């Protein structure tokens, strides 16, 4: 186990106000010119290369379910792994800035890639209003806004809304999940997506049911084309 001196947490958090020098996954000081993961953690958890292929493992997950232009995820998600820790920090430890850093990082990584140059508008999967108030931010939106900025594409919120908090979908089959989620989300503002290629962003893709429900709403609501993006996806 890594030795962490007792003075380290307050000392580094003080420095961190000015310079992001601590690895967000392992807490080691970053010596390299790297934004949030040290070289060691980057080797353990490299970004996916999904963005290099318009048709890939991510789009394959939705084959026959949702018509996609392309889809990509910054990382693969392993329960208990480094990316799990990053997501936990973003969601439960008031770190929207980390979602923004990841969005800038990924946006710059894919900026020159042809598939993502065809997108007109970026939006994100909404949280229920009460949850967003409680958390203070929507982590998917923080990531999406930064991606949109890096790509020079407009971001719009309020296109989709979440009507109610969803109880756990655990134990439901795919059809039951879709039914439950279709009642949970709604298209609130269809005008901006009319005849546009929309990039829909979420934090983590596991079963894909949420992205499928929201993506259907966008396509049925007039989007000409749909692409998906997440911070992390299950392998
Ligand atoms: Zn590290």
Q: From ligand 1's centre to the CA of 42, what distance in Å?
A: 7
Task: Output the CA 171–ligand 1 centroid distance in Å.
Answer: 35
State how many domains the chain has.
2
Distance 37 CA to ligand 1 centre (A): 5
* Domain limits for position 40: 7-44
Torsional sign, CA 230, 13, 40, 81: negative
Residue 7 has a pLDDT of 59
Radius of gyration of the chain (CA): 18
**Co-location of 26 and 55 in the same domain:** no
- One digit per residue, pLDDT tens: the chain, 235 residues? 445 556 556 665 555 556 557 888 888 888 766 678 888 888 888 999 999 999 999 999 999 999 999 999 999 998 989 999 999 999 999 999 999 999 999 999 999 888 888 899 999 999 999 999 999 999 999 999 999 999 999 999 999 999 876 666 777 787 787 777 778 999 999 999 999 999 999 999 999 999 999 999 999 999 999 999 999 999 8
pLDDT of residue 37: 86
Q: Tell how far the Cα of 30 is from the centroid of ligand 1, in angstroms.
A: 8
How does strand 154-155 pair with strand 121-124? parallel
Distance of CA 134 from the midpoint of ligand 1 (Å): 30
| Position 179 in a domain | yes
Whether this prediction's pTM lies above 0.85 is answered by yes
Q: 164 lies in a domain?
A: yes
| Residue 1: inside a domain | no
Q: What's the CA-to-centroid distance between 4 and ligand 1, angstroms?
A: 13
Q: Is residue 188, in this structure, part of any structural domain at all?
A: yes
Q: How far is the CA of 39 from the centre of ligand 1 (A)?
A: 7
Distance of CA 23 from the midpoint of ligand 1 (Å): 5
Q: What's the CATH number where 102 sits?
A: 3.40.50.2020
* Residue 28 CA to ligand 1 centre (angstroms): 6
pLDDT computed for residue 18 by the predictor: 62
In sequence order, what are the residues at sequence separation of 6 or more whose Cβ sits closer than 8 angstroms to the Cβ of residue 1? none
Contact between 185 and 160 (Cβ < 8 Å): yes
Q: Same domain for 105 and 183?
A: yes
* Distant-in-sequence, close-in-space partners of 181: CB < 8 Å, separation ≥ 6: 166, 169, 209, 210, 212, 213
Q: Which phi and psi angles does 89 have, rounded to 5°?
A: -60, -45
Residue at 144 is within a domain:
yes
Q: How far is the CA of 43 from the centre of ligand 1 (A)?
A: 9
Separation of 59 CA from ligand 1 center, angstroms?
30
């Amino acid at each position: 186990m890594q030795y962490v001196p007792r003075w380290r947490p307050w000392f580094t958090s003080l420095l961190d106000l000015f310079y992001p020098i601590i690895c967000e996954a392992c807490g080691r000081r970053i010596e390299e010119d790297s934004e949030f993961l040290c070289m060691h953690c980057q080797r353990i958890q490299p970004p996916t290369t999904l963005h290099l292929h318009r048709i890939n493992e991510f789009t394959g997950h939705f084959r026959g379910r949702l018509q996609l232009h392309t889809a990509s995820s910054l990382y693969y998600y392993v329960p208990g792994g480094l990316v799990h820790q990053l997501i936990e920090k973003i969601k439960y430890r008031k770190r929207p800035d980390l979602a923004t850093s990841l969005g800038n990082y990924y946006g710059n990584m894919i900026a020159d890639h042809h598939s993502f140059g065809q997108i007109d508008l970026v939006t994100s999967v909404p949280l229920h209003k009460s949850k967003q108030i409680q958390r203070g931010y929507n982590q998917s939106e923080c990531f999406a806004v930064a991606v949109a900025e890096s790509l020079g594409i407009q971001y719009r919120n309020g296109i989709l809304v979440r009507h109610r908090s969803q109880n756990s979908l655990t134990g439901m089959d795919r059809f039951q999940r879709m039914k439950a989620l279709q009642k949970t989300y709604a298209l609130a503002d269809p005008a901006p997506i009319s005849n546009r290629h929309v990039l829909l962003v979420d934090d983590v893709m596991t079963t894909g049911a949420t992205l499928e429900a929201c993506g259907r709403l966008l396509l049925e609501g007039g989007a000409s084309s749909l692409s998906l993006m997440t911070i992390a996806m299950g392998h």
